[in-house]
Structure 1
Amino acid sequence: MARFVLVTHIEAEPRRVFEASLDVGVHTASMAGACEEAVAGVTDRGLVLGDTVTWRARHFGVWWRMTAEITAYEPAGFFVDEQRRGPFRSWRHEHHFVADGDATTMRDTVAFAAPFGPVGRLAEAVVLRRYMARLISNRNRHLKQTLEH
């Protein structure tokens, strides 16, 4: 299983960062490079506990679908999304928001496992961990730019 942690400082209060992080439209805009779109479940608003969304996106030249569910949710504090169907053997993304004066420190902890046993573990180590960290980092950069301007 691969795991990484990203920390992003955003000059906005935790409530705003939390809400933007759960907004389907903000997420879609942040993933424009992968042509990502919400195609089922919640497709046009902020997500809440128990909501699911199915994303369709292009990665590595291949179209993928992943259905994620919000499995934990504490307003302005944290939420968790987990894959219910999709390309990974498992996917769990924890989002934590901590007030830092009038700003927010956002911590993403992502743990995932690729399918296909030893071949999947090799892909995690060689390609996927770095690729996924860059993808989430780009998403966070978009959130930061959106909320600070």
Structure 2
Amino acid sequence: MPIIILKTLINAPIEHCFDLSRNIDLHLQSMKASGENAIAGKKTGLINLHESVTWRAKHFGIPFEMTNKISKMEYPTFFVDEMVKGPFKKLHHQHQFKIMGSQTEMTDIFEFQAPLGLLGWLVEKIFLKNYMLKLIEKRNKVIKLQAER
């Protein structure tokens, strides 16, 4: 199962970074290219523990819907969102925040598994892991820019 670990340093307080990372409106802004929308559950503002959101987006020219739920949260250092319904066999995203001097280190640990057995495994290896990394990097760039204003 692919695991992506991405660290982003942000010149902003940990609480601000934590809140921006769970802000649905900011997430939508970062995913404009895929036409992503929040269509059910928590559709705007800050998502909290045990809340879920259903996203609709288009990737690779194919429309997808995915419902994610915040399964764990320790303000302002950690939260986990997990797919409860959608296109992956598994999706588990840990968001960790740590104070590093005058900065906040935001760490994403993103685990996922494509469906379809061997075919899904090949897709993961050939392009899906890199595609997911680019999406997380794009999201983090928007969070960093907003936080450092």
Fold similarity call, TM over 0.5: yes
2-structure distance, mates of 1:146, 1:37: 20
Percent of paired sites with the same residue: 39
> SS of the residue aligned with 2:33?
helix
1:4 aligns with 2:4: yes
Structure 1 equivalent of residue 35 of structure 2: 35
- 1:49-107 deviation line (CA, Å, top 9, x unaligned): 10000001111011100000000100010100000000000000000000112320000
Give the CA deviation at 1:4.
1.0
1:47 and 2:47 matched: yes
Q: How far apart in 1 are the matches of 2:138 and 2:103?
A: 19
2: CA distance, partners of 1:103 / 1:58: 34
What is the CA deviation profile of residues 9-56 of structure 1, one whole-angstrom value per residue up to 9, with x for unaligned ones? 011111000001111101100111111110000001101110000001
Matching of residues 67-106 of structure 1 within 5 Å: 67-106=67-106
Matched, 1:132 2:132: yes
- AA matched with 1:138: K
SS of corresponding position for 2:87: coil
Listed as ranges, the gaps of 5+ residues in structure 2 are: none
Aligned residues: 149
SS at the partner of 2:105? strand
**Please, what TM-score do these two structures have when normalized by structure 1?**
0.98
CA distance in 2, matches of 1:101, 1:34: 36
**Structure 1 residue runs of 4 or more that deviate by more than 4 Å after TM superposition:** none
Counterpart CA distance in 2 for 1:55 and 1:35 is 10
The two structures have a TM-score, normalised by structure 2, of 0.98
Q: Distance in 2 between matches of 1:61 and 1:77?
A: 36
